[in-house]
Structure 1
């Protein structure tokens, strides 16, 4: 059974990512003499000082990550954010000092962004930020590029990770894993198929979405608030971008959506995206050997999930209109 990376191994991975970012930046003609790591969780984020450029280097990845697919997703992010910036939407834009494309260096695929000074004294206000997300959705509606349906969920990752967790009783209780696998058997066909989703949620339209909790990824700066981290941009329901937040956030979004002429949140779609998000949260435990902090980080979410209705309390039959599969049995305690 693979163990957890040690502090020394984690530090070495960060150093490799930092070195790769510096080497890639210099190869592109940037002056880099005081590079510094700004963040280090799933990605190592490096400021190539004194150049006003930040490099995001994904470092914690599923074993099945395909380099070509990763680069394609990164290019979609760069293209979409560039379009938003051109329209005057407040985003952290790609760096204008290098080509607008991902760079592969020393086993890492990275993207280059304009450096902005973050106001670290500002306390996150997720209710306020949820209202901002409606404005972002209004801007995203006009994006003409092609985006894959709900790729933000990375369903292959969830499927493979839940299978891998069978061999890791040290990471998850068997009863929790059993529930997660049975829920995912119901949810996965709807996540993987646009036609299945539209049949299950008639009237819930699809549009370009941020994909990764935009209310959490609003960057406070001296010049105002900026949307950031669009690395999971996809086509999906707007509810996806509100998953995991609380009723006050949903109300703030609905109020702002009305001002922008957008529809409000659909209650069934919210239950669906919250259930899918919990499947993904459980699946993330498979990455804990690469990122040991995940074990403690996801505990509160899993404890809350145990109190939630099975599969969001939704009646989705993967063996019927929404694709092949067997509908798992559900106990009275899970209803």
Structure 2
């Protein structure tokens, strides 16, 4: 790979990602004759049929992403998912048929996972999923590997995304962007520094967490639900994983926490997590040139954000 991950035109990136996944799979000894794309948004997810292996190939990435940081993030995901699977936690595990490490090919970095048949008739229940996230947190507490504090917030991406949007008033208006910038000046120190976070929220324990909205990343397998997509696994407060789930999701999580002998969500920290998560969503508008559909998801959220307290009530 080169020293940077260069965005590809939308029409080219999915076929190129599939070709790279098929070629890498074959190089690793897999029989691949009928590759099928299962999902295509931020990543292209390919079943390398008939091998029981799925390749996940990130394709929509911040301009600041470099091959080294992407590979480190992918290795952390593989390590956590494998450890959880070894403990008996219901996760989609890395494929045992290939080395458990990222593979680089044709400018892409990809990981390989065990194929699981999806129950396509099951509708997602985000409230029920929020409750079982507490079970995941209970399982993750003992993870022995090292993780960075709130790396899933991607502070460099937020900073660079907001700067990019200064030149794109068609994506977000000046007043909204001004507020986002002022909020980020308050919240960024709490994201970048564990010590600053702990000073602002004393007594809040930190632990390994999923990092990327786990209630929305529970895979409905035909033999049962599985936790999935640990791409942004990190060290942080459990509240981070419940950002955006609303009061019902928070109440459901608290039920699961009590069942596991864990503390309930802290309202101040949850507001912090919601506020940072919203700024990360706004920064994602900088990815619209790569993925235009993002406008449809983010614009309604901005309208709701305007009605919330500044920076989630944080004062820095």
Residue aligning to 2:287 = 287
Structure 2 partner of 1:105: 105
Partner residue in 2 for 1:230: 230
Is it true that 1:115 corresponds to 2:129 in the alignment?
Answer: no
Task: Tell me what 1:261 maps to.
Answer: 261
Q: Say if 2:186 and 2:314, in contact at 8 Å, map to a contact too.
A: no
Higher radius of gyration, 1 or 2: 1
CA positional deviation for 1:170: 1.2
Q: Deviations over 1:225-265 (max 9, x none)?
A: 10000000000000000001111111111011011011100
Q: Deviations over 1:154-206 (max 9, x none)?
A: 10000011011111111111111111000001000100000000000001100
User: Per the alignment, in what secondary structure is the counterpart of residue 167 of structure 1?
Assistant: coil
TM-score (normalizing by structure 1)? 0.91
Q: Shift of residue 315 of structure 1? A: 2.1
Cα RMSD between the aligned structures? 1.1
Counterpart CA distance in 2 for 1:159 and 1:129 is 31
Q: CA deviation at 1:267?
A: 0.5
Shift of 1:69: 1.0
Shift of 1:222: 1.4
> Does 1:314 pair with 2:314?
yes
Which residue of the partner structure matches residue 210 of structure 1?
210
3-state SS of the aligned residue for 1:191? Answer: helix
Cα distance in 2 for partners of 1:217, 1:100 equals 21
Distance 1:256 1:128 in 2: 10
The alignment partner of 2:101 has SS state of: coil
SS in 1 for 2:123: coil
CA contact (8 A) 2:62 2:287 kept: yes
For 2:10 and 2:164, locate their aligned partners in 1 and report how far apart those are by CA, in whole Å: 22
Specify the alignment match of 1:92 in structure 2. Answer: 92
Work out the CA distance in 1 between the residues paired with 2:215 and 2:63. Answer: 29
> 1:78 aligns to what?
78
* Matching of residues 6-25 of structure 1 within 5 Å: 9-25=9-25
* 1:42 to partner: Cα distance: 0.3
1:324 is aligned to none
Match of 2:175 in 1: 175
Q: Which residue of 1 aligns with 2:302?
A: 302
**Structure 1 SS opposite 2:208:** strand
In 2, the alpha carbon distance for the partners of 1:256 and 1:65 equals 36
| Over 3 Å off, 4+ runs | none
- Farther-moved stretch of structure 1 (29-38 vs 61-70): 61-70
Look up the match of 1:128: 128
Cα distance in 2 for residues equivalent to 1:203 and 1:155: 24
How far did 1:296 drift? 1.4
Tell me by how many angstroms 1:11 deviates: 2.9
Instruction: Confirm or deny: 8 A CA contact 2:187 2:314 kept in the other structure.
Output: no
> C-alpha offsets along residues 287-329 of structure 1, whole Å, 9 cap, x if unaligned?
000000011111111110011111012222xxxxxxxxxxxxx
Question: How far did 1:13 drift?
Answer: 1.1
SS at match of 1:235: strand
CA distance in structure 1 between the aligned counterparts of 2:95 and 2:283, rounded to whole angstroms:
33
**1: CA distance between counterparts of 2:70 and 2:78?**
13
Partner of 1:56: 56
The residue number in structure 2 matching 1:326 is: none
Whether contact under 8 Å (2:57, 2:109) holds in the other structure is yes
Unpaired segments ≥5 residues, structure 2: 1-6
Q: Count how many residue pairs are aligned between Structure 1 and Structure 2.
A: 310
Please give the residue correspondences for 1:144-183 in structure 2 after superposition, counting only pairs within 5 Å: 144-183=144-183
Partner of 2:3: none
Instruction: String of CA shifts for 1:32-62, please: whole Å, max 9, x gaps.
Output: 0000110000000000000000000000011
- Indicate the SS of the match to 1:262: coil
TM-score (norm. length: structure 2): 0.97
Give the SS at the match of 1:99. coil
